[in-house]
A and B are shown apart, each in its own frame.
Chain A
Amino acid sequence: MQFLIETDILKEYLIAATGEETVLRKALAAGVCYTTMVNALELFRACTSKEETDTVLQMLMVVRVLGMNARYGQSFAELSHAVEKETGLILTNREAMIIGMAKASKLTIVTKEFYERYTSVMAVPIVRSAEEVPQ
């Protein structure tokens, strides 16, 4: 199983209380975890010290960061057009990049915060934890 880990799940991991079971740790045990350059950007933007930046860097060693290739511009836009025509929703650029990357790389998005929104888009598989993945 291959997952695209959203920022909220990465945040949960970084700020977890001692002993708390994190969704990322379970996903790491269940499959290969990826995130995107967009999510990494958000994490690094939230850092205000070297310690925080180093911690984010450490975490990203177990979550492979997918880059945004120039060729994705057209395909992500086409996917967005199709989704918007099908659902009547308007995607933000962030959503278009995350959903587009999940679609292009055949990944299941793991998120709690964006679960309802992504589910309504109906473009890629969405779960709130690795246990929700159909066996």
Chain B
Amino acid sequence: MSARPIQTQGKLHFINSSWHVVLSEAHPSFEEGMTAELVLWDSRSEGSRSEVEEIARVQQLEPAIVALGLASEGALAAGGFGKRLSTLTTS
């Protein structure tokens, strides 16, 4: 993937279709030629930019994909998700 993300006001704009494979895998509705706009991180993410980028480097993944995943940390703190899940994981 040779495309480089351009950061603009906390969002990443991808203007190269070489992201198509990754994005269409993550979002089946994504079509080649579309401009993807992914939130870099939100207020729930504790990761600093440098940490996000370091993890991306280690994982050899593009930063935005990693950042999108990291934004899910703590996102389900409220509600009964954890309790429901516990009932499903008994070995």
Contact = CB atoms under 8 A, between A and B. Distances in A.
Interface of A: 7-8, 11, 13-20, 22, 24-25, 28-33, 42-43, 45-48, 52, 55-63, 92, 94-95, 113-114, 117
User: Which one of A13, A20, A46, A113 has the greatest number of beta carbons of chain B within 10 Å?
Assistant: A46
Interface in B3-46: 26, 44, 46
Contacts of A46: 81, 84-85, 88
Main SS at interface, chain A: helix
A19 B59 CA distance: 23
B81 A28 contact: no
A59 B81 contact: no
Interface string B36-68: 000000001011000100110011110001101
Interface of B: 26, 44, 46-47, 51, 54-55, 58-61, 65-66, 68-77, 79-82, 84-86, 88-89, 91
A47 B81 contact: yes
B55 A61 contact: no
B89 A42 contact: yes
Given A46-B81, A52-B79, A62-B61, A14 B74 contact: yes
Contacts of A113: 89
Closest 5 CB pairs of A and B: A62-B69, A46-B85, A61-B69, A58-B72, A59-B72
A62 B85 contact: no
A62 B89 contact: no
Contact of B77 (A15, A43, A56, A58): A15
Q: Which of B55, B76, B86 has the most CB of A within 10 A?
A: B76
A42 B85 contact: yes
Contacts of B85: 7, 11, 42-43, 46
Contacts of B69: 58-63
A134 B52 CA distance: 25
A114 B90 CA distance: 9
A95 B90 CA distance: 10
A55 B76 contact: yes
